[in-house]
Amino acid sequence: MPQTESADQEMGLVDYSDSDESVEISSSPRAKRQKTTSNNGAFLNAAKDALPPFHPPSTIYTRPRAGDDPALHQGRKRVNPHKVGYWPSHLYIEWHPTSEERATLTTLLSTLQSNLNLTSPSSPSSNHTSITSFLTSDLGAPQPLHISLSRPIVLSTAQKDAFLSSLESRIRTSGIAPFELSLLGLQWHRTEESSRSSSNPQLTSLLSHTNGIVTAFDQPPLYAWAKPPNKDSSSSSDNKNQEDALDDAFHISIAWSFALPSADLRRITEEAFTSAYDSTNTDAGVSAIGCTKTLGDAVRTMRVRVEGIKAKIGNVVTHIPLPNARSRRDKVGSRGLFGI
């Protein structure tokens, strides 16, 4: 996911005295002032009468430098370095989990982190593994999750308006009606190109449309290793394999980590996913007594409604709705994965 750079700037304040304090100071008995020599007295009087130094705004506020500062993003780096006149962009489906779904996902991540913390230090593959949630911001505010429909791409100022116009036209005439997704499991994905899920024709079709626009503007497509089926090919098995490869390309990222996905890490993740879960008591979280389902069961009941896609170009986000075709029923798409 493309990272947005933010910088915390502090405005300097000049410490002027309160007007009441000025009156009190000027009315204080002069007899209490410390005796000084004539030279020192003149210097102190001049210093007292002088106003505090004035700092021009340009010396107080420093505009954020256009560049990559990994310290602002927990050590993460931009996929595409910032360049003046170019706009980092991203196409995606946005999902806002309900409060109950968010509580379940929070419990899932906290259970996984607890299991990782309990791992024996003798296992270097899992030692000191920390995961950072995408569910909330640094201030604790709920954040939407997303399914990527493009890589982090970069558009020039001359391209961005034409790109958005072409994308809107392509989606409007795609014939893809709103649909729903269900969720399958929890997996680790090492890169954006690394993902697994079950077949989903609506997402595959959307990706085909967005990749077509992206490549038309000389940008790399998402999941370039997965080729769409060749209609002219005489081998149905080859087409099936290619279609499956393109279908196996969608996930929702719920957290991130610097850890490499080892066998031990995958095993611990699976144990967390199959942990007993009491959805009626989310504060208690995981409990082995009186639970009727697992965290995985709770995740599989979630549904992601897809009404359109979002195009983020620079800091501007545009919602592009799917065409509401009356002649077609809304379909429930196949399963997908959460990713870390």
* 330-339 pLDDT per residue, tens: 444 444 555 5
pLDDT band at 59 (very low <50, low <70, confident <90, very high): very low
Angle formed by the axes of helices 201-216 and 236-247, to 10°?
Answer: 80
Span 291-329, pLDDT tens digits: 458 999 999 999 999 999 999 999 999 999 999 854 344
In this prediction, residue 187 has a pLDDT band, given cuts at 50, 70 and 90, of: confident
Q: Tell me if 206 sits within 8 A of 221, measured CB to CB.
A: no
Residue 237 pLDDT greater than 70, yes or no: no
pLDDT at 26 > cutoff 60: no
Candidates 147, 167, 191, 96; CA nearest to 313 is 167
Assign 223 to helix, strand or coil: coil
pLDDT band at 144 (very low <50, low <70, confident <90, very high): very high
| Cβ pair 339, 187 in contact under 8 A | yes
Q: What DSSP state is assigned to residue 80?
A: S
End-to-end CA distance of the chain: 12
Average pLDDT for 228-242:
50
Residue 180 bridge partners (DSSP): 305, 332
> Which CATH number among 3.90.1300.10, 3.30.70.260, 3.40.50.720, 3.90.1140.10 corresponds to the domain 87-339?
3.90.1140.10
Which residue in this structure is represented by tokens 């300097």? 12
Question: Any residues with CB less than 8 A from the CB of 171 and at least 6 apart, and which?
Answer: 206, 209, 308, 309, 320, 321, 322, 323
Smallest CA-to-CA distance from 198 within 155, 249, 232, 240 is with 249
Q: Is the dihedral of CA 228, 230, 231, 235 positive or negative?
A: negative
Query: Which pairing describes strands 255-256 and 132-133: parallel, antiparallel, or unpaired?
Result: antiparallel
